[in-house]
Structure 1
């Protein structure tokens, strides 16, 4: 993903670096099936840990967590290796399971592929009950396959519509106060048009078009439109009948109609400079937006296309290498890494919502009454990746080893629709391609 602002990328998009390397992940023809178990080992000695090298403040928080763990006891010593973002997922993909570390970080959507290729072990037997119970339901949903926990994250992510209160008030546009009175898609579109009528260039909306829609940004940001329309990227292992429904096509027709009123945001400053009154974005946009707008910044849920407002969720998670000979020591480190002190230090560094219940509740940004309370409320209503009801809000991207194909085909369809293609035709093409790939790979069975 490429943003128009280097600063926003480094300070804000860290929670979405999860989306950068997915195209490098493909099923390698390895054995399928969950249930790979790490060896418990002695619980003592040196363990190896791999992590992606995020922004400097994130790396410092992680290095501090490792240093504190190493000095807090004498039984286990952690050797940390940081690998550049651009190479991280490719490195895990190219490394034989026997050469992988005892503990490794991984992009949430890549988890199923690594389980499929027997590179991750379930962590339930190695982390404490306290650690598991303190993880938020949304974090646990992203890291679970067939009832087994393969990953837990220090932080999560979320989407919303940022609005410039001053511009909305000037145009006489009423806006939601939260999830209970979210805009319908029609109301959102009407607001966009009304605001555009008051704008000198007729552009009132920022969709972060500068990130490109034929990318993971397209899937992460706009799959919520599909889910909110009652559809899904994948249902029971098939895209046909889930992605290419008339309701989803209608929703993307509405999305297509917004282009007329959308600032292309080539400089990444459409919202902060006041050119757009509305910006479709994530929690990572808050620091820059808050600094630019101050008290005029309001955070709203995404519009409801009929099945309730939805948001994406998920970020980097931590797990145990399938071939570790010291699962007990690996689990001890994860218990330490995922405590409130370390989680709070990391989320202070990157501004993301905490992945633990207690740290999230104590967060100045996300607690009740905080400026990003909406994101916490959304994450408190997780759907998982399959049971997408009207009442749940935060949806996990499909947990499947075939996810790279799903996201590539959907995001291309989205980009084509935005460029003027017929939604029904584009979605049908994407669904056929996804289903053919899954058929060619026996459905990417994980059990």
Structure 2
């Protein structure tokens, strides 16, 4: 799968069981087994040459932009490698060779496997007090055992779109609790429009993990030795969503998936769970009749929730030019704020990783964009670094069994808990 800026939101099988994203750009599988599209900056003031890797972005202009950033660096020659195909697998294989990229981006600032293998340089000292300049929710996810292994580049997120005029006509307020979401969806639905849409699987895939956060729990305990959400609030959240599906308020089949935005644009649903990346198309279709919310709190102990993802710039610990690589990464992703705003604002709609730069992003200056940027700071959650693929897959299966097949949540998650303990023990070792 060609990874997009938001496909990292789906990593680990935890936010969507099946994700062939078509949003941030081209997600058709590409067969190229090796990176292509090398560009070299010229006229540097140093004999050092650095190799910088990016995955293939779908938005027009991103490749040219990162090449321009590299060419502006005065202290080394920076060669940009544009990498189509399965970026994570290609990068993982390359890091085991003698030709290691000096600087490379990776989802959520690096993986546990990379950290345990000693492949990522510790950037804690490099970032220093400037860590406070970045979105705190993002920096929390980029930190493992008090060390920071990546510098955030930009942020993507998911959120709830709705048309205020339709809710007003139905006599309901914008939902801030799950109960209000259910009531609003059933109030606005008609023979011509669905109430709420979150995917052609009924929303189970993309909303599965969100039910943990929205019901008031976290994925793992503080020491990451066990899951932290197997409680009555979580079980009630599962059955509440099951009841919502059965109520008829959820549109379960639309012209496109949740990440596309087409169902909302086409007027198939009055409310849709989607991505910030769809905002330009949605505003083009509905103008000012668009507003956004986080996923609402579920139950007495619940809280609003929005999942976010951020690619981070990492430095290879075993590279040939570690100090020069760290200097370049700091220059680009900490010091060059003009480039950081350009990267987030000029190619699609994304949130600068530094809250202080949000005001410079004109797509986030007001309305839904401004609200969305604040949601990440106030309600942002990301998969724990130890929420592994196997654990995420087991979770998705249990959620589907409860919501889709009507099975008892305590029984289904007793089996999941055993799998989780085994997987977490492996990852702790």
Task: Tell me by how many angstroms 1:412 deviates.
Answer: 2.7
Distance of aligned partners of 1:283 and 1:377 in 2 relative to their CA distance in 1, 3 Å threshold: same
The alignment covers a number of residue pairs equal to 382
Q: How many angstroms apart in 2 are the aligned matches of 1:201 and 1:81?
A: 48
Q: Find the counterpart in structure 2 of residue 116 from structure 1.
A: 116
Asked if 2 retains the 8 angstrom alpha-carbon contact of 1:340 and 1:358, the reply is no
Q: Find the counterpart in structure 1 of residue 62 from structure 2.
A: 58
Q: How many angstroms apart in 2 are the aligned matches of 1:281 and 1:427?
A: 27
Q: Find the counterpart in structure 2 of residue 262 from structure 1.
A: 250
Q: Give the TM-score taking structure 2 as reference length.
A: 0.81
Distance of aligned partners of 1:246 and 1:120 in 2 relative to their CA distance in 1, 3 Å threshold: same
1:408 equivalent in alignment to 2:393: yes
Asked if 1 retains the 8 angstrom alpha-carbon contact of 2:291 and 2:367, the reply is no
- For residues 101-149 of structure 1, what are the alpha-carbon distances to aligned partners after superposition, in whole Å with 9 as ceiling and x for unaligned? 111111117522211222211113445755x443222232221112211
Q: Find the counterpart in structure 1 of residue 351 from structure 2.
A: 353
- Unaligned runs of 5+ residues in structure 2 are 14-45, 257-261
Q: Find the counterpart in structure 2 of residue 195 from structure 1.
A: 188
Which residue of 322, 326, 329 corresponds with 2:321? 326
Task: Tell me the SS of whatever aligns to 1:234.
Answer: coil
Q: Give the TM-score taking structure 1 as reference length.
A: 0.78
Q: How many angstroms apart in 2 are the aligned matches of 1:378 and 1:154?
A: 18
Q: How many angstroms apart in 1 are the aligned matches of 2:410 and 2:281?
A: 37
Q: How many angstroms apart in 1 are the aligned matches of 2:132 and 2:219?
A: 29
Q: How many angstroms apart in 1 are the aligned matches of 2:134 and 2:337?
A: 11
Q: How many angstroms apart in 2 are the aligned matches of 1:333 and 1:110?
A: 18
Q: Find the counterpart in structure 2 of residue 289 from structure 1.
A: 282
- For residues 163-211 of structure 1, what are the alpha-carbon distances to aligned partners after superposition, in whole Å with 9 as ceiling and x for unaligned? 01221122111115xxxxxx11111111112122xx1167311113369
Q: How many angstroms apart in 2 are the aligned matches of 1:81 and 1:325?
A: 17
Which residue of 369, 376, 379 corresponds with 2:376? 379
Task: Tell me by how many angstroms 1:360 deviates.
Answer: 1.6
- For residues 342-387 of structure 1, what are the alpha-carbon distances to aligned partners after superposition, in whole Å with 9 as ceiling and x for unaligned? 11111121311111233223222334x4432222222223xxxxxx
Q: How many angstroms apart in 1 are the aligned matches of 2:292 and 2:121?
A: 39
Written as runs of structure 1 = structure 2, the 5 A alignment for 1:79-228 is: 79-84=79-84, 86-95=85-94, 96=96, 98-108=98-108, 111-126=111-126, 130=130, 132-175=131-174, 183-196=176-189, 199-200=190-191, 203-209=194-200, 213-214=204-205, 218=206, 221-228=207-214
Asked if 1 retains the 8 angstrom alpha-carbon contact of 2:307 and 2:380, the reply is yes
Task: Tell me the SS of whatever aligns to 2:414.
Answer: helix
1:431 equivalent in alignment to 2:417: yes
Asked if 2 retains the 8 angstrom alpha-carbon contact of 1:50 and 1:105, the reply is yes
Asked if 1 retains the 8 angstrom alpha-carbon contact of 2:193 and 2:270, the reply is no
Distance of aligned partners of 1:376 and 1:19 in 2 relative to their CA distance in 1, 3 Å threshold: closer
Q: In angstroms, what is the RMSD of aligned CA positions?
A: 2.7
Asked if 2 retains the 8 angstrom alpha-carbon contact of 1:103 and 1:321, the reply is yes
Distance of aligned partners of 1:226 and 1:257 in 2 relative to their CA distance in 1, 3 Å threshold: same
Task: Tell me by how many angstroms 1:98 deviates.
Answer: 5.0
Distance of aligned partners of 1:123 and 1:111 in 2 relative to their CA distance in 1, 3 Å threshold: same
Which residue of 5, 25, 31 corresponds with 1:15? 5
Q: How many angstroms apart in 2 are the aligned matches of 1:128 and 1:134?
A: 10
